[in-house]
Structure 1
């Protein structure tokens, strides 16, 4: 599911289950473990998905499998977001396709989120599929999304790449043919930052957000 490679001294974590990268507890735990491995040095990390789809979001089968499995899956999503927010080196997400909710959450948690042009959408569509979001992505969205993006959570408005950038899911959107060059440039920039200063500033900026997410309760599936 997750392969770990390097690019010019930076880490690249690629999520690819051969399907749509529906994220269950096992896959999210694997992402957290991979980030922990990357944290052994101070090199930047890029997280990317399949071409055409970064992630279809949470695995709906996990929510249908009973309260225990559903709760564990949501906790794993919370843990993944916190792992990105706490990661001592810069984390870039690279989205070359659709990013449905849990995939969109990873974009919001990253230090830099890059999207690609195409017939893709990103956002939170839970109202349309009959689900209530847990509190932690609401906290993340309130901190990172524009007013339009925040209102769109309730209405399940999904955003094409450039609109997703305007509301806060992406920081930059590039043409598909520019993806690899853009990733190299962004990783080079991140490598040029002073590691200690970066970590100190990231910790300071994310402290309140992390505290709020940590304290947020999960839904009661009982």
Structure 2
């Protein structure tokens, strides 16, 4: 799949979605719609078991489209934010795990987009920040909410209130990203993680994502109840029976997502 703003390439069982909106991959709402459309293709094609979201060039996403900001009013700003939020919800709830590969800078809307993914692997050359206050704004696509699931409250507020940019290494130390690698290696490292995901039971991975995401939005007690429902339902699947049989037979399981 190729669109004016994104490309979707297959790497084995992994979909690699690349944002391509030069010069800095600014997150215009049409770009958000293109990302959502690519994610929907991954959702519908059950041969995909994982997805990578990355950018072309020196930026992952350097923020919202500032020129577009000059053309909208309050109502337009709300519509724009809702379109971006809808795309990010598509990634958050996608059937398969989504790995954000920060090939470069993830600022403002790029940081929000990163937070909507399941795993974040960053280039050592990347900088990350919630920079909206420098424009007299705040994040509008969930940044003031999602940042608190990733960082202690004081650290999250410092980033929001100052607009400071931090390096990929510092973001890793804070727990904001999951790994940092040299720029030339970052995509291959993400593909290696995807390979391990792709070797696991596909229905189990999908179930693990649903259960984990449920916990992010509900209480611990509710999360425990939902986990039991999802866990027990897997006992009706051929994937579960194949995984158990392969373990007993000491062979590699041959999953068919059934």
> Which bin holds the TM-score, normalised by the shorter protein?
0.7 to 0.9
* Whole-angstrom distance in 1 between the partners of 2:177 and 2:80: 25
Name the CA distance, whole Å, in 1 between partners of 2:203 and 2:39.
18
Equivalence for 1:166: 173
Q: Which fold has the larger relative contact order, with Cα–Cα distance below 8 Å and residues 6 or more apart in sequence? A: 1
Q: Could you tell me how far apart the structure 2 residues matched to 1:208 and 1:163 are? A: 27
How far the C-alpha of 1:195 sits from its partner, in A, is: 2.1
Given the alignment, which residue of 30, 38, 42 partners 2:42? 38
Query: Are 2:19 and 1:15 aligned?
Result: yes
Matches within 5 A, 1:2-151: 2-40=6-44, 41=46, 42-64=48-70, 65-118=72-125, 120-134=126-140, 136-147=142-153, 149-151=155-157
**Is the 2:123–2:183 contact (alpha carbons within 8 Å) kept by the matching residues of 1?**
yes
Whole-Å Cα distance in 2 between the matches of residues 193 and 149 of structure 1? 35
CA contact (8 A) 1:149 1:168 kept: no
In our comparison, the structure showing a higher alpha carbon Rg is: 2
SS in 1 for 2:53: strand
1:75-118 CA-to-partner distances (Å, cap 9, x unmatched) read 12211221111011010111111111111112112111110112
Kept in 2, the 8 Å contact 1:82–1:210? The answer is no
Superposition TM-score, scaled by structure 2 size: 0.75
Contact map agreement 2:131 2:164 (CA 8 A) in 1: yes
How far apart are the structure 2 equivalents of 1:167 and 1:149?
Answer: 9
Cα separation, partners in 2 of 1:45 and 1:134, compared to 1, 3 Å: same
Counterpart CA distance in 2 for 1:160 and 1:6 is 30
The CA RMSD over aligned residues, in Å, is: 1.9
Rounded Cα–Cα distance in structure 2 between residues aligned with 1:86 and 1:32: 11
Measure, in 2, the Cα distance between the counterparts of 1:16 and 1:163. 27
2:203 aligned partner: 196
Q: Structure 2: where are the runs of 5+ without partners? A: 219-258
Q: How much has 1:48 moved relative to structure 2?
A: 0.6
- Listed as ranges, the gaps of 5+ residues in structure 1 are 212-222
Q: Verify the 8 A CA contact 1:123 1:169 in the aligned structure 2.
A: no
